[in-house]
Amino acid sequence: ARWVPEAAERKGERRGHVLDAARTQFALRGFEATTMRDIADAAGITASNLYRYFESKDSMIHAILGDFSDRLTEAYRDVIQWAPP
């Protein structure tokens, strides 16, 4: 029973590492020119292992942009709610 949360945490960390690698590769090469192999190599994992975390480049870009959108929305709300002293 203890192993399940630990495994989920490790998978989340690896997933974040893969997203960091994907973000970097997309910035360097462009989305269309980046391959799953490029991302796997940058993340230090095999291409087949990459598919354990994401089914496609599209799913990665959705995760990246979703996170960006969430952060932007949070910052927007902070600005709107800010009141001068």
**How sure is the predictor about 69, in pLDDT bands with cuts at 50, 70 and 90?**
confident
Token pair in block for residue 56: 């496609």
Average pLDDT of the chain is 87
Whose CA is closest to 16, among 4, 28, 8, 6? Answer: 8
Mean pLDDT for 40-51 is 94
Under 8 Å between Cβ of 66 and 44: no
Enter the pTM of the model: 0.73
Integer CA distances (angstroms), 49 to 11, 17, 22, 52, in order: 12, 13, 14, 5
pLDDT at position 44? 95
Inform me whether the pLDDT recorded for 52 exceeds 70.
Answer: yes
pLDDT at position 71? 81
Q: At 80, which amino acid appears?
A: I
